[in-house]
Amino acid sequence: MEERGFMVIGEELPRVDAEVKATGEGKYVSDIQLPGMLYGKILRSPYAHAKILNIDTSRAERLYGVRVVVTAKDTLGKKFCIHPHLANNLLLQDEKVRYIGDQVAAVAAIDEDIAEEALDLIEVEYEELPAVFDPEEAMKPGAPQVHKEANNIVLHTRREFGDAERGFSECDVIVEGRFTSPGVAHCCMEPRGCVAFFEFNGKLTVWSTTQAPHPLRQDLADVLGLPISKVRVMRAHVGGGFGARFPMDAIDGIASVLSMRSRKPVRVINTRDEEFISSRIRYPMVIELKTGAKKNGRLWARQTRVVTDNGAYNNHGISVTGNATARLSQLYAVPNIKFESFVVYTNNIYGGAFRGYGNPQMTFAMETQVDEIAERLGMDAAGLRLFNANRPNSGTVSGCKITSCGLPDCIEEVVEHSGWKEKRGKGRGKHRGVGMALMIHGGAGIKAYWGKDCNMSAAIVKINRDGTVDLYTGTGEIGQGSDTAMVQIAAEELGVSLRDINIVSGDTDTTPPCCGAWGSRQTFTAGNAVRYGAADAKQQLLRVAADLLEARVEDLEARNGRISVKGSPERWVSIAEASNESYANRGTPVIGRGVNDDPWSDVIDPKSYYGNYNSAYAFAAQVAEVEVDTETGIVRVVKLTCAHDVGRTINPSLARGQVVGGVLSMGVGYALLENLIRENGVVLNGSFQDYKIPTALDVGEVECIFVESRDVNGPFGAKGIGEPTMIPTAPAISNAIYDAIGVRVRELPITPEKILNALREKGKHNPR
Amino acid sequence: MRRELKLRVNGEDYILGIEPHRTLLEVIRKELGLTGAKEGCGGGECGVCTVLLDGKAVKSCIMLAMDARGKEIWTIEGLARGGELHPLQRSFIEHGAIQCGYCTPGMIMSAKALLDKKPNPEEREIREAIAGNFCRCTGYLSIIEAIQAVSDSRKLV
């Protein structure tokens, strides 16, 4: 990677949308109010599993102010899913409901109160069916059948890399355990919602809380039977995503159908109650894991059996499970791997993508066992990790080609900054401990969208006559700061300042396609597209400037708004002059085009699972320091020391925001607090009063270290950071708890009750 | 049945006809078009609807608009004056305390209520003041720093 002084890359610049958010001017979907707009509400199933015998909407239709009531018969009945071959969800269910909260009918009325009242007047005749809530029960013969698949098994996978049996036979120490991960709610502060307006020219415009505008456009076109050109997904600010907001949610299609039937703009916004009972969750998993190592500490074999609660409908279940099992061979490049996974329907709320995409569940299990092995071998857990850590330009038995890798540096950084050597194993008397965990994750997205082989982003860069820039990307800005990162990348490449760039993102009518914000992909994949587009525009400017300066294109450089001859800074023209010359005098406005179709990764082979599925890999090491109150079981996370290999830091403030937020707002919650408790399909803690997320009183200190491994293919060397931040937090905390009090809890979240039970079992609990 | 309600919001008087069961949040968002305060839960739990009522931070989603009669109400829209951002707004921007921004208006109003009453609070008091304002993006530390920085700069004046 060429080294030179950057102008904006690596600078701590405020986000481009900061002012409009600080002043409350920024409009979110629920702020959009169109003339004549109606308010929609969704009737949801009160049963976990039932046949729909009849729906009578006549009373609701007669209520004053109701404009339209829709059921399945008002839709095309097209099934949808991110994996099209597994599609079995409908905008409105026709024959059966399969979980409490399932959508049955919808109303649009002149105000929300009337719409709510109308829901009560819709008469649905149900025939209740036996239901099943535990995936391991659902797999047994004779269990209630949720869909057509036998034993409710959507996918049963068995794979082996290397020779697991032989691998284990060569191990000197083997540990085994069963780990469970609960349903976790995203709790985006903005509930999901959609404003849809279908006009007489057949054009549907949608403002949605989406993190992937172009895929949503495609999904809506499919499910509504419209040409793609007749669907416009528009930008609004989005109040958090974390995976919850892709692909299409039924609410987007329902709002659209209500607008198409009423010929009015319609807004549908979930209440928080609806968010808790009917939006996506982190897939609950039961993971049985076995890890073996040789006596020198080399991790040599791993075997797992995973059962994923797929919930009532197919969504990301198979790929989240695939992503979880993929980590077995990747982290520490363990050479002998065997895994078996079951993705199983139940009558529970169904899961979705959630920061980490199966990796937090598996990393919790893997990294707990690494500590157990270190203890059995009498080795330092950090030393054992460093010995086994992935290295740059290395491979795995499953076909990964790791290029940039700063994992060893991450370990050394957290050891130093956490005071590991002084603290590890020394705080048990005071119930204080430190624990470490590592992670590997894709840092560039994966070829998974639009069929199975697409991980693409495109950008258009238009230079105005005055030298300012319009940058068009199809990316999803959901709060993570993607717009700012894209602007910084374009500014650096073009040699202009941040304020000279106007970004247009997420409006599908004006921006080029992009798969959106998922898989920690936008910085790398969309960032490359933006860089290519800016480079294309720059070349056009340089050609004009070469004429004006009577110089050769290859002798020119663009910096600080000027194009100058390298080595002769006094010979220059401004970018504005060059642009104006091209635009006005030559009639060729400068328009750059950038496309990144991710040429460096393989398409997933569903038969072998062998291949290199990520163009770049992100790495991290975290150390948690905890204090446990053995009287109450309460764990206080005193400090988290986090080192992340981000390739290159585009903006330290944004990157730190991802780390601190991922660790404190989510990782600590996942480790200690969060569990969407369901009993017979009923959510028991569906409010912020009962479902605890971390507050300002709960968060401790975070120290953030960025390791810059300079990825060979990343834009200026950068790779993804969004998901990785929360992946190692839970096992780091769990390992720290063991260091503090000598008990392990393998069921997340690690609540005070579980700690006290574990202490009691160990006979260590001595109340006065 | 609509009733007359006189409200004073951001220093301006409004005479409205509203249904008595409307919350303050509904009225400021829908009738006044001040959409900076958000709805996040409708139950006074998450704090994204926070506004100031006679200087106190209140959850406007669980307060009836009628009960705000005769009170001085400030929303996020009232903070920037004459084209200048309020110091808290500037500090939130400079400290990277904004991500998705949905909690930001409520968070800033809670911070303002604290600093107006106590210009140099302890860190613990800052945490307590925003404990009812949830944020799922930032992990709160940058927000706490942003509020501290404003109180520190006031110390210098």
pTM to 2 decimal places? 0.97
Cross-chain Cβ contact A24/B40 below 8 Å: no
Which residues have CB under 8 Å from A104's CB, separation 6+?
A43, A44, A45, A52, A55, A71, A92, A93, A97, A122, A124
Confidence (pLDDT) at A701: 98
What's the whole-number mean pLDDT along residues B13-31? 97
Confidence (pLDDT) at B26: 98
Domains of chain A from N-terminus onward = 32-129+187-278 (3.90.1170.50), 132-186+283-379 (3.30.365.10), 404-444+614-768 (3.30.365.10), 456-596 (3.30.365.10)
Report how many Cβ contacts below 8 Å link chain A to chain B.
Answer: 175
Of B30, B94, B136, the CB nearest to A189: B136
Confidence (pLDDT) at A448: 79
Confidence of residue A606 (pLDDT cuts 50, 70, 90): confident
- Please name the residue that has the structure tokens 């008990």: A743
Task: Enumerate the residues of chain B whose CB falls inside 8 A of the CB of residue A190.
Answer: 38, 40, 100, 102
pLDDT at A580 > cutoff 50: yes
pLDDT at A542 > cutoff 70: yes
Cross-chain Cβ contact A664/B139 below 8 Å: yes
Give the pair of three-digit tokens for residue B24.
Answer: 């303050």
**Mean pLDDT over each residue of chain A, to the nearest integer:** 96
What is the number of alpha carbons within 13 Å of residue A253 lying toward its C-beta?
A: 31
What's the whole-number mean pLDDT along residues A48-64? 98
Contact by Cβ (8 Å): A582, A540: yes
Contact by Cβ (8 Å): A237, A348: no
Task: Enumerate the residues of chain A whose CB falls inside 8 A of the CB of residue B142.
Answer: 656-657, 660
The whole-angstrom distance between B52's CA and the closest CA on chain A is 15
Cα–Cα–Cα angle for A80, A342, A334, nearest 5°? 115
Predicted confidence (pLDDT) per residue in A669-682, tens digit: 999 999 999 999 99
3-state secondary structure (DSSP) of residue A234: strand
Specify the range with the lowest mean pLDDT, choosing from A332-336, A445-449, A611-615, A751-755.
Answer: A445-449
Confidence (pLDDT) at A764: 57
What's the whole-number mean pLDDT along residues A678-704? 97
Task: Enumerate the residues of chain B whose CB falls inside 8 A of the CB of residue A656.
Answer: 96, 142
Predicted confidence (pLDDT) per residue in A475-515, tens digit: 999 999 999 999 999 999 999 999 999 999 989 999 999 99
Closest to A216 in 3D by CA, of A592, A511, A493, A424: A511
Confidence (pLDDT) at A169: 98
pLDDT at B153 > cutoff 70: no
Confidence of residue B154 (pLDDT cuts 50, 70, 90): low
Interface test with A, best of B136, B140, B147 (most A CBs within 10 A): B136
Fold for B3-78, please state it: Ubiquitin-like (UB roll) (3.10.20)
pLDDT at A98 > cutoff 70: yes
Instruction: Find, in chain B, the residue whose alpha carbon is nearest to that of A476.
Output: B100
Cα(A694)–Cα(B137) distance, rounded to whole angstroms? 11
Percentage with pLDDT > 90 across chain A: 96
The whole-angstrom distance between A722's CA and the closest CA on chain B is 11
Confidence (pLDDT) at A449: 72
Confidence of residue B6 (pLDDT cuts 50, 70, 90): very high
Confidence (pLDDT) at A453: 78
Cross-chain Cβ contact B101/A237 below 8 Å: yes
- Please name the residue that has the structure tokens 């535990």: A134
Give the pair of three-digit tokens for residue A177.
Answer: 């355990």
Confidence (pLDDT) at A605: 86
Predicted confidence (pLDDT) per residue in A621-656, tens digit: 999 999 999 999 999 999 999 999 999 999 999 999
Predicted confidence (pLDDT) per residue in A198-250, tens digit: 999 999 999 999 999 999 999 999 999 999 999 999 989 999 999 999 999 99
Cross-chain Cβ contact A688/B134 below 8 Å: yes
Fold for B87-156, please state it: DNA polymerase; domain 1 (1.10.150)
3-state secondary structure (DSSP) of residue A386: helix
What's the whole-number mean pLDDT along residues A320-325? 96
Cα(A134)–Cα(A569) distance, rounded to whole angstroms? 71
pLDDT at A695 > cutoff 70: yes
Interstrand relation of A556-559 and A501-505 (parallel, antiparallel or unpaired): unpaired
**Residue A641 phi, psi dihedral angles, 5° rounding:** -105, 120
3-state secondary structure (DSSP) of residue A300: strand
Cross-chain Cβ contact B137/A479 below 8 Å: yes
Confidence (pLDDT) at B140: 98
Cross-chain Cβ contact A665/B46 below 8 Å: no
Q: Residue A368 corresponds to which amino acid?
A: T
- Please name the residue that has the structure tokens 């808290």: B88
pLDDT at B156 > cutoff 70: no
- The domain ranges of chain B are 3-78, 87-156
Cα(A237)–Cα(B14) distance, rounded to whole angstroms? 29
Which residues have CB under 8 Å from A221's CB, separation 6+?
A227, A228, A230, A231
Burial string for B2-36 (b: 16+ CB within 10 Å, else e) reads eeebebebbeeeeeeebeeebbbbbbbbebbebbb
Kindly give the residue spans of alpha helices, DSSP state H, lying in A85-212: 112-121, 135-138, 164-169
Task: Enumerate the residues of chain A whose CB falls inside 8 A of the CB of residue B98.
Answer: 15, 18, 21-22
Length of chain B: 157
